[in-house]
Structure 1
Amino acid sequence: MTTLYITGAGVSAESGIPTFRGEDGFWTIGSRNYTPQQMATRAMYQDNPAEFLKWYYHRFVTYRHHGPNTVHQWLADKNLITQNIDGLDGKAGNKDFISIHGRIDKMTIFHEQGEMVSIEAAPWEQIDENNLTASLLELFKISTKGPQLNASYKPYVLLFDEFYTELYGIEKAQKRMWDATKIVFMGTSFSVNITQMALDVARHKAIPVDVVDPSPAHILHDNVQYFPMTAREYIAHVE
């Protein structure tokens, strides 16, 4: 049996990283002038890069030193696609996980969507928090003219108005879905396209699906088991 695990923000909550749609979630906390759905967009990055980068830094990058928890460690040798950008699966030792939405510790050259570009380490330690705006713009090579294609840098993160491309490993992810004989969803609200994509494959192949979450989202699938528990509790249950 080839089990594919697809994880969401609930898996990293135990590591002290807020979820997205919970009370303290990233998508409930915006900036003074914009909602999170407006902030986390390519349009905001292009039109107001200073505001975008400050929001991104405070909402994501400040958690870069948090460590993996027992769930990440259990998943370290598993077939895994994660929606999380925190990189904790890599810290836990998984050498072949797919971070389908990107990584906070990486950046890319600002490119046309669909274009393959290099992925580089983001040197966050160079940021001067006492001069945050200027420091962020300098790090990402953004001038007063705004981000420039093939010159400026962009965080390696899939934004709301962008689409899955091979830069984020979509072809490899789809192959894993089609090769799977079972899919386990952990800590996800099923609010993003990758979970719907995996569900469509599971329905087409009529393979079993486990949904693990303290308040699991109910899905349309004939062969689904709901586990209203944390991922840690699920691990204890199946072992």
Structure 2
Amino acid sequence: MTTLYITGAGVSAESGIPTFRGEDGFWTIGSRNYTPQQMATRAMYMDNPLQFLKWYYHRFVTYRHHGPNSVHQWLADKNLITQNIDGLDGKAGNTDFISIHGRIDKMTIFHEQGEIVPIESAPWGQVDENNLTSSLLELFKIPHIGPQLNVSYKPHVLLFDEFYTELYGIDTAQKRMWDATKMVFMGTSFSVNITQMALDVARHKEIPVEVVDPSPAHILYDNVQYFPMTAKEYIDYVEQTNT
């Protein structure tokens, strides 16, 4: 049996990283003038790059040094697609996971979507918080007229108004979906395209699906089993069942 694990923000909650839609979630807290859904867009990056980078820095980059928890470690040898950009699966030792929404510790040259460009390390360690404005613009090579294609840099994260490309591993992710004989969704609210894409494949193939979450989202599919618990509790259950 080839099990595909698809994880969301709930898996990283025990590492001290906020989920997206909780009280202190990433998509709950925006900036003074914009909602998170407005902030996390390519349009905002292009029109107001400083506002975008400062929000991104304060809401995401400050968590870059957090470590993996026992769930990440359990998933270290698993067939895994994660929606999380925290990179904790890599820190836990998974060398073949797909970070379908990008990585907080990476950046790319600002390019037209669909182009294949190198993925580079982001210079967050060089940010001067005493001169945050000038530091961010300088490190991401953004002139006063705004981001320039093939000159400026952009955090390697899939934004709300962008689409999945092979730079994020979408072709490999889809192949893993079609090769799977079972799918396990852990800590996700099923509110992003990748989970719907995977569910469509599961329905088409009529393979079993498991949904793991303290408050699991109910999906329109007959061959599904719900586990209303944390990912850690689910792992304990699985290991006890298999012994």
Same fold (TM over 0.5): yes
Secondary structure of the corresponding residue to residue 85 of structure 1: coil
User: In the alignment, what sits opposite 1:153?
Assistant: 153
Give the AA of the match of 1:114: G
User: In the alignment, what sits opposite 1:217?
Assistant: 217
Give the AA of the match of 1:52: F
Q: Distance in 1 between matches of 2:41 and 2:123?
A: 22
Give the AA of the match of 1:34: Y
User: In the alignment, what sits opposite 1:21?
Assistant: 21
Q: Distance in 2 between matches of 1:49 and 1:19?
A: 24
Q: Deviations over 1:61-98 (max 9, x none)?
A: 00000000000000000000000000000000000000
Q: Distance in 2 between matches of 1:206 and 1:19?
A: 30
Q: Displacement of 1:22 after TM fit?
A: 0.7
Does residue 83 of the first structure (1) align with residue 83 of the second (2)? yes
Q: Distance in 2 between matches of 1:64 and 1:27?
A: 18
User: In the alignment, what sits opposite 1:119?
Assistant: 119
Q: Distance in 2 between matches of 1:123 and 1:137?
A: 12
User: In the alignment, what sits opposite 1:96?
Assistant: 96
Q: Distance in 2 between matches of 1:133 and 1:212?
A: 41
User: In the alignment, what sits opposite 1:143?
Assistant: 143
Secondary structure of the corresponding residue to residue 29 of structure 1: coil
Secondary structure of the corresponding residue to residue 191 of structure 2: coil
Secondary structure of the corresponding residue to residue 167 of structure 2: helix
User: In the alignment, what sits opposite 2:6?
Assistant: 6
Secondary structure of the corresponding residue to residue 31 of structure 1: coil
Q: Distance in 2 between matches of 1:201 and 1:109?
A: 33
Q: Distance in 1 between matches of 2:65 and 2:130?
A: 19
Give the AA of the match of 1:121: S
Q: Deviations over 1:189-226 (max 9, x none)?
A: 00000000000000000000000000000001110000
Secondary structure of the corresponding residue to residue 66 of structure 2: coil
Give the AA of the match of 2:13: A
Q: Distance in 2 between matches of 1:148 and 1:170?
A: 26
Point out 4+ residue stretches in structure 1 off by more than 2 angstroms: none
Q: Distance in 1 between matches of 2:130 and 2:195?
A: 39
Structure 1 residue ranges without an equivalent (≥5): none
Q: Displacement of 1:100 after TM fit?
A: 0.1
RMSD: 0.4
**TM-score for both structures, normalised by structure 2:** 0.98
Q: Deviations over 1:99-118 (max 9, x none)?
A: 00000000000000111111
Number of equivalenced pairs = 239
Structure 2 residue ranges without an equivalent (≥5): none
Q: Distance in 2 between matches of 1:191 and 1:59?
A: 20
Q: Distance in 1 between matches of 2:59 and 2:186?
A: 22
User: In the alignment, what sits opposite 1:130?
Assistant: 130
**TM-score for both structures, normalised by structure 1:** 1.00
